[in-house]
Amino acid sequence: HQKIVEEGPVTVASQESLREMEIAACNLARSVGYVGAATVEYLYLLDTNEFCFLELNPRLQVEHPVTEWISGVNIPSCQVMIGMGIPLWRIPDIRRLYKKSVKEDTYFDLATEEKGGPSGHVVAVRITSEDAGDGFKPTSGSIDELSFRSTPDVWGYFSVKGGGGVHEYADSQFGHLFAKGETRTEAIKHMLVALADIKIRGEIRTTVDYLIDMLQCPGFVNNEVSTSWLDERIEAQVKPDAPVWYLAVIGACVCKAHHVLQGRMA
């Protein structure tokens, strides 16, 4: 299955634990001679304040805009500059992250220098062609309409558009949205507005309605999620409320009345 939500920065672990994770990640990369962008993932045990290694992905993560928005670092741009032979300590975004002047060219050691903290909070959601009401089983088919507009607080991209589709051999993810706020609560609010504004019509099922419901449930709002939290929701068959059918009838009546009134005034 696909991940559903990613967010940052970490809000449940202590700063000491986060620093230990950073050091362990760097030590791991050095021990195997790894050079390049990578993501080291851990599992964190809230009760004991301990963490354990999960995996190292030797590539730029799909959800890298989360890191970019809270750090102010354009990671793909940094990769290009490093490929050109520019050291990290000379890259403007990195110097800003470590609170160094971009007008100077003085060397500093990233391993020992203290960097600035994250700015705001970012929540990301993956839009997939999965049926949340049927255990997130993948679906395929045509997409007749797909409409989404980015805003100053929400950015997103889709790999398909209206008139296209998702075939049975494709990855189920076809969209990714990122919402930023000064706080986690504000980021969630911005994401909810963006999800409500999406229009996807076609043969496929999507996770949009499920995400809207999930982002508002107490467990997520209070940040009480765990690695088993979503499985428990699926097992409990938690589903978003179905739209009230008579609202469509009321909307059609209002639309019809508007057209009739316009015809009489013409």
Q: H/E/C letters for each residue in 104-128?
A: CCCCCCCCCCCCCCCCCEEEEEEEE
Q: How confident is residue 237, by pLDDT bands cut at 50, 70 and 90?
A: confident
Q: How far is CA 118 from CA 70, 188, 231, in A?
A: 5, 17, 30
Report phi then psi at 104, rounded to 5: -105, 170
Q: What size, in residues, is the chain?
A: 266
Mean of the per-residue pLDDT values of the chain: 91
Calpha distance 45→51 (Å, rounded): 6
Q: Is 59 a catalytic residue?
A: yes
DSSP string covering 60-87: --TTHHHHHHHH---HHHHHHHHHTT--
pLDDT of residue 143: 96
Mean pLDDT of 93-98: 96
Q: How confident is residue 244, by pLDDT bands cut at 50, 70 and 90?
A: low
**Is the confidence at residue 249, as pLDDT, over 80?**
no
pLDDT of residue 241: 56
Q: How confident is residue 242, by pLDDT bands cut at 50, 70 and 90?
A: low
pLDDT of residue 248: 67
Question: The pTM is what?
Answer: 0.85
pLDDT of residue 252: 77
% of the chain with per-residue pLDDT over 70: 95
Is the torsion defined by CA of 71, 75, 80, 83 positive or negative?
positive
Domains of the chain, with CATH numbers?
Answer: 5-66+74-98 (3.30.470.20), 121-245 (3.30.470.20)
Predicted confidence (pLDDT) per residue in 1-60, tens digit: 668 999 999 999 998 999 999 999 999 999 999 988 899 999 999 889 999 999 999 999
Cα angle 230, 233, 236 (rounded to 5 degrees) comes to 150
Calpha distance 156→177 (Å, rounded): 4
Instruction: Evaluate whether 78 touches 94 at the Cβ level (below 8 Å).
Output: yes
Helix or strand or coil: residue 32? coil
Predicted confidence (pLDDT) per residue in 114-170, tens digit: 888 999 999 999 999 999 888 889 999 999 999 999 999 999 999 999 999 999 888
Task: From the candidates 30, 59, 90, 201, give the one annotated as an active-site residue.
Answer: 59
